[in-house]
Amino acid sequence: MNVMTKPTITEDHRTIGDVQMEVKNITLRFGGVTAIHNTSFNIRHGEIRAIIGPNGAGKTSMLNVINGFYHPQEGTITFKGEERRDMRPHIAATQGIARTFQNVALFKGMTTLDNIMTGRSLKMKKNIFWQILYEGPAKMEEIENRKFVETIIDFLEIQHIRRMPVGKLPYGLQKRVELGRALAMEPELLLLDEPMAGMNVEEKEDMSRFIIDINEEFGTTIALIEHDMGVVMDLSDRVVVLDHGELIADGTPDEVQKNQDVIDAYLGVAHD
Amino acid sequence: MLFFLETVISGLLAGVMYSLVALGFVLIFKASGVFNFAQGVLALFAALTLVGLLSGTTPFTHVDNPALAMPAWAAIPATILVMVLIAVLVERFILRHLVNQDQIILFMSMVGLAYVLEGAGDIIWGSDVKVIDLGLPQGAWDWLLDSHGLYIEKIELVAAGVAGALVIVLAIFFQKTRIGRALRAVADDHQAALSVGISLRTIWIIVWSVAGVVALVTGVMWGAKSGIQFSLSLIALKALPVLILGGFESIPGAIVGGLIIGVGEKLAEVYGGEVIVALFGRWIEIDPGIFTATENWFAYVLALVFLLFRPQGLFGEKIIERV
Amino acid sequence: MFYRESGQFKTGYAADQAVFPILQDRWGVLLMLIIGFVGVPLVIDDYWANAVFIPFLAYSLAALGLNILTGYCGQLSLGTGGFLAVGAYSSYKLMTGFPELDMILVLLGAGAITALVGLLFGLPSLRIKGFYLAVATLAAQFFLIWLFYKVPWFYNYNATGQITVPPREALGFLVTTQKADIVVRYLFILSIVTVFAIAAKNMVRGRIGRSWMAIRDMDIAAELIGIRPFATKLSAFAVSSFFIGVAGALIFSVWLGAAESGETFGIIESFLVLFMIIIGGLGSVLGSFLGAAFIVLMPIGVKNVLVDWFGFTAVFAKHVEITTFGVLIIFFLIVEPHGLARLWQIIKEKMRLWPFPH
CATH number (domain holding residue B40):
1.10.3470
Average pLDDT, chain A: 90
- Count structural domains, chain B: 1
Beta-carbon separation of A102 and B323 below 8 A: yes
| Distance from the B238 Cα atom to the nearest Cα atom in chain C, whole angstroms | 11
Q: Which of residues 128-187 of B touch C (CB under 8 A)?
A: none
Reduced to 3 states (helix: H, G, I; strand: E, B; else coil), residue B141 is coil
d(CA C199, CA C192): 11
- State pLDDT tens for residues B201-221: 888 888 899 899 999 998 888
CATH node for A1-96+187-272? 3.40.50.300
C136 interaction partners in chain B (CB closer than 8 Å): 300, 304, 307
Stretches in chain C below the pLDDT threshold 50: 1
Cα–Cα distance list, B93 to B122, B201, B231 (Å): 21, 12, 27
| Distance from the A70 Cα atom to the nearest Cα atom in chain B, whole angstroms | 9
- Helix axis angle for B103-125 and C267-280, nearest 10°, is 120
Chain A residue with Cα closest to C283: A109
Question: Which residues, in sequence order, are CB contacts of B316 under 8 Å at separation 6+?
Answer: B247, B249, B250, B253
Residues B118, B44 contacting (CB under 8 angstroms): yes
- State pLDDT tens for residues B229-255: 777 777 777 788 888 888 777 778 888
Beta-carbon separation of C218 and A117 below 8 A: no
| Distance from the C228 Cα atom to the nearest Cα atom in chain A, whole angstroms | 7
| Distance from the A89 Cα atom to the nearest Cα atom in chain C, whole angstroms | 5
Reduced to 3 states (helix: H, G, I; strand: E, B; else coil), residue B130 is strand
Residue B290: pLDDT above 70?
no
C226 interaction partners in chain A (CB closer than 8 Å): 90, 93-94, 121-122, 185
d(CA C69, CA C276): 14
Please report all neighbours of B, defined by 3+ CB atom pairs within 8 A: A, C
A3 band by pLDDT with thresholds 50, 70 and 90:
very low
Q: Which of B111, B117, B301 sits opposite C271 (nearest CB)?
A: B111
Chain C residue with Cα closest to B121: C319
B293 interaction partners in chain C (CB closer than 8 Å): 146, 149-150
Residues A164, A176 contacting (CB under 8 angstroms): no
Single out the residue of A140, A145, A175, A144 nearest to residue A161, CA to CA. A175
Residue B284: pLDDT above 80?
no
Chain C residue with Cα closest to B98: C334
Domain residue ranges in chain A: 1-96+187-272, 106-185
Domain residue ranges in chain C: 41-266
Say which DSSP state B294 is in: -
Chain C residue with Cα closest to B36: C131
> B322 in a domain, yes or no?
no
Q: Which of B102, B119, B237 sits opposite C322 (nearest CB)?
A: B119
Single out the residue of C90, C140, C45 nearest to residue C245, CA to CA. C90
Beta-carbon separation of C226 and A185 below 8 A: yes
Task: Note the pLDDT of residue B196.
Answer: 60
Q: Which of C13, C207, C239 sits opposite A121 (nearest CB)?
A: C207
| Distance from the B220 Cα atom to the nearest Cα atom in chain C, whole angstroms | 23
Percent of chain B with pLDDT strictly greater than 70: 84
* Residues C67/C69/C75/C79 CA torsion (nearest 10 deg): -90
Residue B159: pLDDT above 50?
yes
Question: Which residues, in sequence order, are CB contacts of C215 under 8 Å at separation 6+?
Answer: C73, C74, C222, C227, C229, C232, C233, C236
The 3-state secondary structure of chain A reads: CCCCCCCEECCCCCEECCEEEEEEEEEEEECCEEEEEEEEEEEECCCEEEEECCCCCCHHHHHHHHCCCCCCCEEEEEECCEEECCCCHHHHHHCCEEEECCCCCCCCCCEHHHHHHHCCHHHCCCCHHHHHHCCCHHHHHHHHHHHHHHHHHHHCCCHHHCCCEHHHCCHHHHHHHHHHHHHCCCCCEEEEECCCCCCCHHHHHHHHHHHHHHHHHHCCEEEEECCCHHHHHHHCCEEEEEECCEEEEEECHHHHHHCHHHHHHHHCCCCC
Q: What is the pTM of this model?
A: 0.89
| Average confidence (pLDDT) over A209-226 | 94
B110: containing domain: 2-309
Chain B residue with Cα closest to A67: B323
Please report all neighbours of A, defined by 3+ CB atom pairs within 8 A: B, C
More confident residue, B128 or C248: C248
| Average confidence (pLDDT) over A247-264 | 90
Q: Taking every pair of C-alpha atoms in chain C, what is the biggest distance, in angstroms?
A: 68
B187 band by pLDDT with thresholds 50, 70 and 90:
low
Single out the residue of C141, A140, A79, A39 nearest to residue B296, CA to CA. C141
Highest mean pLDDT among A12-26, B258-272, C30-44, C132-146: C30-44
Single out the residue of B215, B192, B219, B218 nearest to residue B203, CA to CA. B192
Q: Which of B94, B107, B301 sits opposite C330 (nearest CB)?
A: B94
Beta-carbon separation of A106 and C239 below 8 A: no
d(CA B151, CA B143): 10
Q: What burial letters (b/e) apply to B250-287, b meaning 16+ CB within 10 Å?
A: bbebbbbbbbbbbbbbbbbbbebbeebbeeeeeeeeee
Say which DSSP state B299 is in: H
Chain A residue with Cα closest to C198: A132
Single out the residue of C328, C216, C336, C244 nearest to residue B105, CA to CA. C336
Percent of chain A with pLDDT strictly greater than 70: 96
Residue A270: pLDDT above 60?
no
Residues B19, B257 contacting (CB under 8 angstroms): yes
Residues A98, A185 contacting (CB under 8 angstroms): yes
d(CA C197, CA C84): 18
d(CA C127, CA B85): 40
Interface predicted TM-score of the whole assembly (ipTM), two decimals: 0.90
Beta-carbon separation of B323 and A30 below 8 A: no
Question: Which residues, in sequence order, are CB contacts of C97 under 8 Å at separation 6+?
Answer: none
B190 band by pLDDT with thresholds 50, 70 and 90:
low
Task: Note the pLDDT of residue C358.
Answer: 57
DSSP codes joined into one string, B209-269: HHHHHHHHHHHHHHHHHH-BSGGGGGHHHHHHHHHHHH-TT-HHHHHHHHHHHHHHHHHHH
Single out the residue of A70, A256, A94, A78 nearest to residue A188, CA to CA. A94
Q: Which of B102, B107, B300 sits opposite C138 (nearest CB)?
A: B300
Task: Note the pLDDT of residue A142.
Answer: 93
Q: What burial letters (b/e) apply to A26-39, b meaning 16+ CB within 10 Å?
A: bbbeeeeebbbbeb
Residues C184, C45 contacting (CB under 8 angstroms): no
d(CA C225, CA A190): 12
Neighbour-count burial of B123, counting CB atoms closer than 10 A to its CB (0-12 exposed, 13-18 middle, 19+ buried): middle
- H or E element at residue B146: helix B142-148
Beta-carbon separation of C13 and A147 below 8 A: yes
Question: Which residues, in sequence order, are CB contacts of C27 under 8 Å at separation 6+?
Answer: none
- State pLDDT tens for residues C61-87: 999 999 999 999 999 999 999 999 999
d(CA B262, CA B268): 10
Is some CB atom of chain B closer than 8 A to the CB atom of C322?
Answer: yes
> B319 in a domain, yes or no?
no
Task: Note the pLDDT of residue B197.
Answer: 64
A139 interaction partners in chain C (CB closer than 8 Å): 14, 17
Question: Which residues, in sequence order, are CB contacts of C356 under 8 Å at separation 6+?
Answer: none
Single out the residue of C131, C129, C138, C29 nearest to residue C83, CA to CA. C138
| Average confidence (pLDDT) over A132-159 | 92
Length of chain A: 272
| Distance from the B318 Cα atom to the nearest Cα atom in chain A, whole angstroms | 10
Highest mean pLDDT among A67-76, B3-12, B169-178, C244-253: C244-253
Which residues of C lie closer than 8 Å to A, measured between beta carbons?
Answer: 12-14, 17, 199, 202-203, 205-208, 210-211, 213-214, 216-218, 220-228, 235, 239, 283
The count of CB pairs under 8 A between chains A and C is 104
| Average confidence (pLDDT) over B186-214 | 75
Task: Note the pLDDT of residue B153.
Answer: 76
Q: Which of B248, B300, B311 sits opposite C142 (nearest CB)?
A: B300
Please report all neighbours of C, defined by 3+ CB atom pairs within 8 A: A, B
Residue A2: pLDDT above 50?
no
Q: How many CB atoms lie within 10 A of CB C339?
A: 27
Task: Note the pLDDT of residue A1.
Answer: 40
More confident residue, B135 or A197: A197
Beta-carbon separation of C131 and B311 below 8 A: no
A102 interaction partners in chain B (CB closer than 8 Å): 323
Task: Note the pLDDT of residue C7.
Answer: 63
